Amino acid sequence: MADAKVIPFGEEPRSRRRSRRGAPGGRTPRTASAPLAPVPPPRDEPGEPEEPDVAAEAAEAAREAGDGWERKVAHGLNFLRRRITGDYEVDEFGFDKELTDQVVLSALRPFAEKYFRVEVRGVENIPEKGAALVVANHSGTLPIDGLMLQVAVHDHHPAARHVRMLAADLVFKLPVVNEISRKLGHTLACAEDAQRLLERGEVVGVMPEGFKGIGKPFSERYRLQRFGRGGFVSTALRAGAPIVPCSIVGAEEIYPMIGNSKTLARLLGLPYFPLTPTFPWLGPLGAVPLPTKWTIQFGEPVPTDGYPPEAADDPMLMFNLTDQVRETIQHTLYKLLVQRRSVFF
């Protein structure tokens, strides 16, 4: 039996140590088939939200605000250039749509939204296209209700339609008021102008009470005056346009008229000279209207296209339709007054 070589306990054989060291020099060679794996990026702990980049968001908001102001300035300069060079359009009645939309209505809108807080109901009863005759009650000592009616229809109607108001002769005799009224699309309250506008498919607004409505004493508030001879019904019949009754609550109290100085009215050539609790006692401050809460409601339209052409000359038919529209407006006024909690709230 050959002599066995005894290996001390814990010591490996020389041949095994040599094979594990590999190449001479004690270095283990790397093979090309085993590339180093990329180190994955650290993951956020689950449940921890990412912190928003406040600085970046603020910079983006500032950039958007700056762009918005730049657009507004550019738009304003372009508007001024067109006004100076005369590069804008007006119709045969003097209506300036661009000036009305961007200047006049923009100036009136804060009064409608913030001061009188006008609530608009039933504006969808005005057709989206085509002619319509809006007939409304008139009150308030000064004809502010007509202006608020225009803002209400333009801002709340789905088609943003313009109401072409019919105004009295006095409006077009006043120097500055005449120009502004023409630019707003107002025209003389005569059957010829009203019919031409309706035949063009416009929305025409009329307040048949006239000066009798806005000049009545405060004790007769919300009591409709006579609607004339029914000329607006004849005009609607000839044009085949629907009649839309409109009731306005809140305008009666802006200037409570407790008296009328007829002597001053004759001297100034006015239909009346109002005396209110604040005017003329407080001077110019007394001319500031009271901030009442308004409601403007449009009723169901009264169709006129089903009548024959000769119906416009039928006095009995005109009387019946006039009375129907008047009673609708009066009934709606009473209904709105019952629902109203306060004059100012």
Residue 110 lies in a domain: yes
Give φ, ψ of 201 to 5 degrees: 85, 25
Question: Does the residue 39 lie in any domain?
Answer: no
The CATH number of the domain holding residue 168 is 3.40.1130.10
Would 234 be classed as within a structural domain?
yes
Torsion (CA) 315, 317, 321, 326 in degrees, nearest 10:
40
Compute the C-alpha angle 325/113/164, nearest 5°. Answer: 45
pLDDT per residue, tens digit, the chain (345 aa), is: 444 444 444 445 454 444 444 444 444 444 444 455 555 555 545 555 555 566 666 667 666 666 677 777 877 777 788 878 877 888 999 999 999 999 999 999 999 999 999 999 999 999 999 999 999 999 999 999 999 999 999 999 999 999 999 999 999 999 999 999 999 999 999 999 999 999 999 999 999 999 999 999 999 999 999 887 778 999 999 999 999 999 999 999 999 999 999 999 999 999 999 999 999 999 999 999 999 999 999 999 999 988 988 888 899 999 999 999 999 999 999 999 999 999 998
47 located within any domain: no
Q: Are 148 and 294 in contact (CB under 8 A)?
A: yes
- Answer whether residue 16 is part of any domain: no
- The parent domain of residue 105 ranges over 95-253+288-337
Please list the alpha-helical segments (H only) found in 53-141. 54-85, 97-99, 105-110
- The pLDDT assigned to 256 comes to 95
When divided into structural domains, the chain yields a total of 1
Among candidate residues 139, 145, 141, 140, the one with its CA nearest the CA of residue 165: 145
Residue pair 227/266 in contact by the 8 Å Cβ criterion: no
Domain presence at residue 199: yes
| pTM attached to this predicted model | 0.78
DSSP β-bridge partners for residue 248: 296
In a domain, 269, yes or no: no
Written as six digits, the tokens of 344 are 């100012």
In a domain, 130, yes or no: yes
Whether residue 302 contacts residue 245, with contact meaning beta carbons closer than 8 Å, is answered with yes
